[in-house]
């Protein structure tokens, strides 16, 4: 059975049109989002690994190398089994830093444009034979099916169609940081097609040739050498070498890297892929021995590489060869499209852009899109050129393995990237150069020589034979050994730049270096202006807007720490657009850092905490325990019912706990990273002033906020840090921790208690007041009655004068009571007053009490003594102490109130001759609600209130008493008031 | 519902799995499963067993 070339071309072309439709449906939203994001779509898209080498070449490989052909898939299984150690860290890096290819990853980690160029060139060199292999597989398959030589023009048309597809669905966006949903869906479909095609051909082989499993068993029993031919090479061949090559190829081949990391929508899908992708590979390889044996059994006339087609022509239904051919086209086209996209991205970022960066006047995005599309066309056509030039005697597997040995050269670099912080660019470049040189000498030159392009004097085959190694073993062993040794040697000898150290820290997640320096540009508008000089106005504006949106920042952002983050974000976004090295260079040039400005501690803390959050699940052992401890301490600090605010040397807020949020109404996210003086008022003024003040404590700071009065205690302490020896000025500027205590509720409660105590005192005075007022009222009544009958003007006048005197006496009593009972907080009426007057007033009040009247109270205060303070408060102190003295004194005894000056203090003493206070009670008498009086006679607040008022005046109150010998209460008060409405701070 | 094992144990399991695969594919063990009377599908069964192990270990993984 043969098929017309035109029919095959039509079938292949129709299949590619179907791919267009699938990709279009996915891109335009006609395929459900759930389906496209399904992990199995991702798994099938990884099936791009199975190229025409797998589809056609595996049978030929199995025929010559037995089960060695499985190593190409078992190596991948091993790589996916180690996914948490290998693939997931790379996925994290590529997504976090927007790295779109292996060259990007190396250029980012080793901060070397040369590394990017080397990787790109080597990838191009190593992959072009592989692309040529795909084209050859398609044309050869046409030849096999049609039994006529396929003209090269068909290959050219095939390549041109792929160029159009790759451009339409793989280069839709100017930047490779965007995902291509249509492309992923189409590639997943291609994998499904080739899997089904191979399975159907396998079943056809089993049923059509052997008549089922029993027939196969019988045939195998009749041909035991068939199984031995599969096992024999495993015991003798380069099993380990091929496993290693496949292990590296699983994620380092450009198409694998692209589908695994660059086009990954859902990081969790990698978890499913770790088992589902090896299962896909197992299924696709299951029919290979059956097809081989069926081909041998039928003694097919085609090369074993094309048994898949020969068998379908021989025993299958008429549609089977077309399906088999479509499966081959599917394998080849998927590989070519994805490899080309990956290589075009590398070439653009690492070769074209660094050498021909567009003028700022040119639209950058359009330029990049055009460049990417042009490169896609160039790379596919270069593959076509390679196909035309290559001699045909090379098997499919040979061409593929040459690429595998090429990519394994990146293995030392990738291991160093993930797990060796000291690895550096010198080691990488030396190792790669050695690896490339040996690869070229052992594999590429013999290939070119056998194709007749060049003639060399090297006798590599003789050397290989002398070593007793297989071709692949020889090339892999020597190239990888030289590469690894030089990589290690160069890394040990060379020094890392600061940029390289930072990148190494980012790659090895266990270490963290925060962002250093401050951006010179002071706003996002200045960012745009600076970037426009290289990127052009439109691109600069778009990139800054994008970064602001990514970080949820406003365009008016001016906080230095946030601008530093913005700079970092723009660099990452540009990395996805232009490659990491170029992005780094542009950012360094246009958005310069002042590296002499120390990094705000807030930034460092935020950075480290972000990193810790991100890597929490990766912290193990001691690191994990320390992180748990850190979280506990941080939570304690955040939940502390006391406002905690820490500032760094630059006076920038580093910690702002929940209590601070409640007290100030300022959210931590708005306060952290902001210099103190730029916090909203009144907090900025208050805290910045306190931070500069020499006082470490401010008590009872009263301030008006939002139409209410609030009281605070402020405390601060320095947090010493390492200081530069040659910068003594800096010593004054250390980090500080500030505690803020909201006293408003306490103050209100105290004021209420004080008022209650006064009212209670008035209650106790009520009887005395009634008596004191009663006497003059009686006198006034008698005088008034006498006046009715008095006609003598002189006597009338005298009576009236007497009435007025009595009235004034009543007024004085009422006024004293009114003053005493007036509500108000302590410290609201500060003035200088005569101590004797206040003492007289207090004695008058005390005399109104029952005990007060029975005791002789003597005021011995000198007239000239004055005191500054809260007059009402001190009056209450004296009333409370005198009341206690009178209550403790027996009737007829005396209570003396005296005062004298001692240095800067005024000492007031109240001495009674009462029963005294026992030693046991002396320790409690200033505590609230402690009383020795009978229930209902005292509240227990009198002396506590006196203690509070005296303490507020920065004074001291003490007791000198002995049971049975009276009591002396000593009050020391500073002459000048220590009560303040405003904090004593230097603004 | 089963608890997710801590990351440390998950990584240990991954490493153990990698070592097991290397052991199965190493020369001394390979001689056993490539012996002359082994059925043709033995490598596939071995491969399937490895995949089942991977699925068992990775299915309950959180992102590491």
Averaged pLDDT for residues A299-316: 87
Contacts of A70 in chain B (CB under 8 A): 43, 47
Q: What CATH code is carried by the domain that includes residue A697?
A: 3.30.450.20
C-beta neighbour count of A207 within 10 angstroms: 14
C-beta neighbour count of A784 within 10 angstroms: 12
Which residue of chain A is at minimal alpha-carbon distance from B14? A82
Look at residue A773 and tell me whether its pLDDT is greater than 60.
Answer: yes
- Residue A690 lies inside a defined structural domain of this protein: yes
For A234, which of B21, B30, B59 is closest by C-beta distance? B30
Running DSSP on this structure, what letter comes out for residue A208?
A: I
Each residue's pLDDT tens digit, A421-475: 889 999 999 999 999 999 988 888 887 777 666 676 666 666 666 666 677 888 8
Integer Cα distance of A212 and A204 in angstroms: 9
A394 Cβ contact list (under 8 Å, min separation 6): A447, A450, A451
Band (A138; pLDDT cuts 50, 70, 90): confident
Q: Do A523 and A671 share a structural domain?
A: no
Look at residue A256 and tell me whether its pLDDT is greater than 60.
Answer: yes
- Residue A407 lies inside a defined structural domain of this protein: no
Q: What pLDDT score does A260 carry?
A: 94
A895 strand-pairing partners: A857, A912
Integer Cα distance of A438 and A435 in angstroms: 5
Look at residue A984 and tell me whether its pLDDT is greater than 50.
Answer: no
A714 strand-pairing partners: A698, A740
Look at residue A728 and tell me whether its pLDDT is greater than 50.
Answer: no
Q: Per-residue DSSP letters for A343-410?
A: HHHHHIIIIIHHHSPPPTTS-HHHHHHHHHHHHHHHHHHHHHHHHHHS-TTS-HHHHHHHHHHHHGGG
Q: Do A868 and A950 share a structural domain?
A: yes
Which residue of chain B is at minimal alpha-carbon distance from A68? B43
Running DSSP on this structure, what letter comes out for residue A600?
A: P
Integer Cα distance of A838 and A855 in angstroms: 19
Q: What pLDDT score does A981 carry?
A: 44
Look at A83 and B63 and tell me if their CB atoms are within 8 Å: no
Which residue of chain A is at minimal alpha-carbon distance from B16? A82
Expressed in angstroms, the distance from the first to the final Cα of chain A is 98
Q: Do A628 and A589 share a structural domain?
A: no
Look at A78 and B61 and tell me if their CB atoms are within 8 Å: no
pTM of the model: 0.69
- Residue A436 lies inside a defined structural domain of this protein: no
Integer Cα distance of A154 and A625 in angstroms: 65
For B58, which of A70, A275, A282 is closest by C-beta distance? A275
For B30, which of A239, A279, A621 is closest by C-beta distance? A239
Highest mean pLDDT among A461-470, A531-540, A760-769: A531-540
Contact (Cβ atoms closer than 8 angstroms) between residue A26 and residue A181: yes
Mean pLDDT rounded to a whole number for chain A: 82
Which residue intervals of A442-523 are DSSP H helices?
Answer: 445-450, 460-467, 471-493, 498-507
Averaged pLDDT for residues B11-27: 77
* Chain B nearest C-alpha distance from A617 (Å): 6
Residues, chain A:
987
- Residue A506 lies inside a defined structural domain of this protein: no
Q: Do A337 and A279 share a structural domain?
A: yes
Q: Per-residue DSSP letters for A25-80?
A: HHHTT-S-HHHHTSHHHHHHHGGGGS-HIIIIIHHHHHHHHGGGGGHHHHHHHHHH
- Residue A679 lies inside a defined structural domain of this protein: yes
CB burial of A734-746 (b: ≥16 within 10 Å; e: otherwise) equals ebbbbbbbbbeee
For residue A132, give the 3-state DSSP assignment.
helix
Encoded tokens for A738: 């500030």
Each residue's pLDDT tens digit, A174-233: 665 667 888 899 999 999 999 999 999 999 999 999 998 999 999 999 988 888 888 888
Q: What is the crossing angle of helices A560-578 and A601-614, to 10°?
A: 50
Q: What pLDDT score does B1 carry?
A: 43
Contacts of B8 in chain A (CB under 8 A): 620-621, 624
Look at A624 and B8 and tell me if their CB atoms are within 8 Å: yes
Integer Cα distance of A236 and A473 in angstroms: 12
For residue A521, give the 3-state DSSP assignment.
coil
CA distances from A963 to A320, A390, A920, A943 (A): 119, 119, 10, 18
Q: Which of A341, A368, A396 is the last residue of a domain?
A: A396
For B38, which of A231, A289, A617 is closest by C-beta distance? A231
Which residue of chain A is at minimal alpha-carbon distance from B40? A227
Integer Cα distance of A331 and A53 in angstroms: 8
Q: Which of A536, A565, A599 is the last residue of a domain?
A: A599
CB burial of A381-401 (b: ≥16 within 10 Å; e: otherwise) equals ebbbebbeebeeebbbbbbbb
Q: Which of A377, A396, A415 is the last residue of a domain?
A: A396
Question: What ipTM was reported for this prediction?
Answer: 0.85
Q: Per-residue DSSP letters for A814-844?
A: HHHHHHHH----TTSSEEEEEHHHHHHHHHH
Q: What's the domain count of chain A?
A: 4
Closest-CA residue to A187 (of A253, A131, A260): A260
Contacts of B32 in chain A (CB under 8 A): none
Running DSSP on this structure, what letter comes out for residue A892?
A: T
- Residue A422 lies inside a defined structural domain of this protein: no
A896 Cβ contact list (under 8 Å, min separation 6): A858, A860, A909, A910, A911, A912
Contacts of B22 in chain A (CB under 8 A): 78
Instruction: Give me the torsion for CA of A841, A843, A846, A851, rounded to 10°.
Output: -170
Peptide bond connecting A682 to the previous residue in cis, omega within 30 degrees of 0: yes
- A817: containing domain: 748-974
A890 Cβ contact list (under 8 Å, min separation 6): A913, A914
Q: What CATH code is carried by the domain that includes residue A351?
A: 1.20.1730.10
Element at A951 (helix H, strand E): helix A942-952
For A84, which of B10, B36, B38 is closest by C-beta distance? B10
Residues, chain B:
64
* Pairing between β-strand A905-912 and β-strand A894-902 as defined by DSSP bridges: antiparallel
Q: Do A786 and A695 share a structural domain?
A: no
Which residue of chain B is at minimal alpha-carbon distance from A621? B8
Look at B8 and A227 and tell me if their CB atoms are within 8 Å: no
A972 strand-pairing partners: A907, A956
Q: Do A759 and A737 share a structural domain?
A: no
For residue A167, how many C-alpha atoms fall within 13 Å in the half-sphere facing its CB? 19
Q: Do A738 and A590 share a structural domain?
A: no
For B62, which of A85, A230, A617 is closest by C-beta distance? A617
Tell whether the torsion through CA atoms of A86, A89, A93 and A94 is positive or negative: positive
- Residue A364 lies inside a defined structural domain of this protein: yes
Q: What CATH code is carried by the domain that includes residue A850?
A: 3.30.565.10
Mutate to test the interface with B, among A230, A231, A266, A419 (most CBs of B within 10 A): A231
Q: Do A646 and A595 share a structural domain?
A: no
Q: What pLDDT score does A724 carry?
A: 42
Q: Do A817 and A790 share a structural domain?
A: yes
The residue assigned the tokens 């090429």 is A406
Q: Which residue has the higher pLDDT, A792 or A307?
A: A307
Q: Do A705 and A591 share a structural domain?
A: no
Q: What pLDDT score does A247 carry?
A: 94
Look at B27 and A239 and tell me if their CB atoms are within 8 Å: yes
Q: Do A792 and A938 share a structural domain?
A: yes
Q: Do A526 and A657 share a structural domain?
A: no
Q: What pLDDT score does A280 carry?
A: 96
Integer Cα distance of A856 and A283 in angstroms: 113
* Pairing between β-strand A856-859 and β-strand A894-902 as defined by DSSP bridges: parallel
Contact (Cβ atoms closer than 8 angstroms) between residue A73 and residue B50: no
Q: Per-residue DSSP letters for A262-299?
A: IT-S-TTHHHHHHHHHHHHHHHHHTHHHHHHHHHHHHT
Which residue of chain B is at minimal alpha-carbon distance from A90? B64
* Chain A nearest C-alpha distance from B31 (Å): 7
Contact (Cβ atoms closer than 8 angstroms) between residue A897 and residue A857: yes
CA distances from A2 to A5, A202, A297, A322, A891 (A): 9, 21, 21, 11, 138
Each residue's pLDDT tens digit, A604-622: 676 677 666 666 556 667 7
Complete edge-to-edge strand list for the sheet that includes strand A894-902? A856-859, A894-902, A905-912, A967-974, A956-961
Look at residue A30 and tell me whether its pLDDT is greater than 60.
Answer: yes
Q: Per-residue DSSP letters for A688-738?
A: HHHHH-S-SEEEEEEEEETTEEEEEEEEEEEE-----TT-GGGGG--EEEE
Measured CB to CB, residues of chain B less than 8 Å from chain A are: 7-8, 10-11, 14-15, 17-18, 21-22, 25, 27, 30-31, 34-36, 38-40, 43-44, 47-48, 50-55, 58-59, 61-64
Averaged pLDDT for residues A718-743: 65
Lowest mean pLDDT among A297-301, A488-492, A774-778, A820-824: A820-824
Band (A2; pLDDT cuts 50, 70, 90): low
Integer Cα distance of A190 and A397 in angstroms: 21
Averaged pLDDT for residues A811-815: 74
Q: Per-residue DSSP letters for A407-421?
A: HGGGHHHHHHHHH-T
Contact (Cβ atoms closer than 8 angstroms) between residue A642 and residue A739: yes
Each residue's pLDDT tens digit, A235-244: 877 888 889 9
Look at A275 and B63 and tell me if their CB atoms are within 8 Å: no
């Amino acid at each position: 059975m043969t098929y017309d070339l035109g029919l095959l071309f039509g079938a292949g072309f129709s299949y590619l049109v179907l791919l267009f439709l699938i990709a279009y449906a996915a891109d335009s939203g006609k395929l459900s989002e759930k389906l496209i994001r399904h992990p199995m779509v991702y798994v099938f898209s990884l099936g791009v690994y199975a190229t025409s080498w797998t589809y056609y070449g595996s049978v030929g490989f199995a025929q010559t190398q037995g089960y060695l052909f499985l190593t190409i898939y078992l190596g991948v299984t091993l790589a996916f089994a180690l996914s948490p150690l290998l693939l997931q860290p790379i996925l994290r890096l590529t997504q976090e830093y927007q790295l779109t290819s292996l060259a990007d990853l190396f250029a980012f980690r080793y901060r070397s444009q040369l590394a990017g160029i080397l990787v790109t060139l080597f990838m191009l060199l190593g992959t072009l034979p592989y692309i040529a292999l795909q084209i050859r597989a398609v044309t050869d398959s046409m030849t096999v099916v049609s039994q006529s030589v396929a003209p090269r023009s068909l290959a050219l048309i095939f390549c041109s169609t792929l160029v159009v597809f790759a451009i339409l669905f793989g280069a839709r966006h100017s930047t490779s940081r965007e995902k291509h949903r249509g492309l992923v869906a189409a590639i997943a479909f291609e994998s499904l097609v080739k899997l089904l095609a191979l399975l159907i051909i396998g079943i056809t082989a089993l049923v059509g040739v052997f008549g089922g499993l029993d027939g196969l068993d019988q045939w195998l029993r009749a041909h035991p050498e068939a199984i031995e031919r599969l096992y024999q090479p495993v015991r003798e061949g380069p099993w380990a070498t091929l496993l290693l090559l496949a292990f590296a190829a699983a994620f380092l081949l450009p198409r694998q890297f692209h589908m695994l990391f660059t086009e990954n929508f859902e990081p969790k899908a990698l978890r499913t892929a770790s088992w589902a992708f090896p299962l896909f590979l197992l299924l696709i390889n299951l029919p290979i021995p059956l097809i081989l044996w069926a081909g041998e059994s039928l003694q097919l006339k085609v090369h074993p590489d094309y048994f898949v087609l020969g068998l379908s022509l021989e025993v299958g239904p008429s549609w089977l060869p077309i399906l088999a051919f479509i499966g081959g086209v599917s394998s080849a086209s998927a590989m070519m499209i994805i490899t080309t996209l990956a290589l075009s991205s590398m070439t653009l970022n690492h070769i074209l852009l660094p050498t021909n960066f567009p003028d700022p006047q040119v639209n950058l995005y359009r330029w990049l899109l055009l460049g990417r599309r042009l490169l896609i066309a160039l790379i596919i056509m270069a593959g076509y050129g390679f196909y035309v030039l290559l001699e045909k005697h090379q098997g499919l597997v040979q061409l593929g393995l040459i690429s595998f040995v090429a990519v394994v050269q990146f293995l030392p670099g990738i291991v160093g990237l993930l797990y060796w912080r000291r690895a550096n660019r010198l080691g990488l470049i030396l190792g790669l150069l050695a690896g490339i040189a040996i690869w070229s000498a052992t594999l590429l030159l013999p290939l070119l020589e056998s194709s007749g392009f060049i003639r060399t004097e090297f006798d590599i085959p003789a050397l290989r034979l002398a070593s007793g190694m297989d071709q692949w073993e020889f090339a892999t062993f020597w190239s990888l050994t030289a590469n690894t040794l030089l990589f290690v040697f160069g890394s040990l000898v060379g020094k890392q730049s600061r940029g390289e150290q930072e990148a190494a820290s980012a790659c090895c997640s266990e270490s963290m270096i925060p962002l250093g320096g401050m951006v010179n540009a002071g706003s996002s508008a200045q960012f745009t202006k600076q970037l426009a000089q290289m990127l052009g106005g439109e691109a600069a504006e778009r990139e800054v807007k994008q970064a602001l949106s990514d970080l949820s920042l406003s365009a008016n952002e001016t906080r230095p720490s946030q601008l530093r983050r913005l700079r970092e974000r723009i660099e990452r976004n540009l990395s996805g657009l232009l490659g990491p090295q170029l992005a780094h260079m542009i950012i360094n040039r246009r958005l310069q850092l002042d590296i002499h400005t120390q990094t705000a501690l807030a930034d460092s803390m935020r950075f480290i905490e972000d990193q810790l959050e991100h890597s929490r699940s990766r912290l193990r052992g001691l690191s994990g325990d320390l992180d748990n401890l850190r979280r506990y301490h941080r939570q304690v600090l955040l939940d502390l019912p006391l406002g905690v605010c820490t500032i760094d040397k630059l006076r920038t807020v580093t910690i702002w706990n929940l209590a601070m949020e409640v007290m100030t109404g300022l959210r931590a996210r708005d306060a952290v990273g902001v210099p103190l003086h730029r916090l909203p008022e009144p907090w900025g003024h208050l805290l910045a002033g306190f931070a500069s003040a020499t006082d470490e404590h401010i008590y009872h700071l009263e301030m008006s906020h939002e139409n209410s009065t609030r009281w605070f205690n402020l405390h601060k302490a320095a947090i010493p840090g390492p200081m530069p020896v040659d910068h003594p000025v800096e010593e004054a500027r250390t980090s500080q921790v500030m505690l803020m205590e909201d006293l408003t509720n306490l103050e209100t409660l105290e004021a209420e208690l004080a008022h209650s105590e006064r009212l209670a005192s008035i209650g106790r005075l009520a009887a005395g007041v009634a008596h004191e007022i009663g006497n003059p009222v009686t006198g006034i009544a008698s005088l008034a009655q006498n006046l009715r009958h008095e006609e003598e003007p002189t006597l009338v006048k005298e009576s009236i004068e007497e009435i007025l005197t009595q009235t004034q006496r009543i007024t004085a009593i009422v006024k004293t009571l009114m003053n005493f009972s007036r509500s108000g907080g302590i410290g609201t009426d500060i003035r200088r007053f005569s101590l004797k007057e206040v003492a007289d007033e207090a004695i008058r009040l005390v005399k109104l009490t029952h005990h007060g009247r029975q005791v002789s109270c003597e005021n011995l205060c000198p007239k000239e003594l004055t005191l500054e303070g809260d007059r009402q408060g001190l009056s209450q102190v004296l009333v409370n102490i005198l009341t206690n003295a009178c209550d403790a004194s027996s009737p007829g005894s005396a209570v003396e109130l005296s005062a004298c000056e001692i240095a800067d203090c005024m000492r007031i003493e109240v001495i009674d001759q009462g029963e005294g206070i026992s030693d046991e009670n002396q320790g409690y008498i200033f505590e609230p609600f402690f009383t020795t009086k009978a229930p209902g006679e005292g509240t227990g607040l009198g002396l506590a209130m006196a203690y509070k008022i005296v303490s507020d005046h920065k004074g001291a109150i003490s007791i000198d008493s002995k049971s049975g010998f009276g009591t002396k209460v000593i009050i020391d008060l500073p002459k000048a008031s220590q009560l303040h409405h405003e904090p004593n701070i230097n603004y | 519902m089963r608890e997710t094992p801590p990351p440390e144990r998950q990584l240990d399991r991954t490493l153990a799995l990698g070592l097991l695969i290397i052991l199965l594919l190493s020369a001394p063990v390979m001689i056993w499963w490539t012996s002359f009377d082994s059925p043709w599908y033995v490598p596939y069964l071995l491969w399937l067993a490895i995949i089942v192990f991977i699925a068992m270990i990775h299915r309950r993984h959180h992102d590491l």
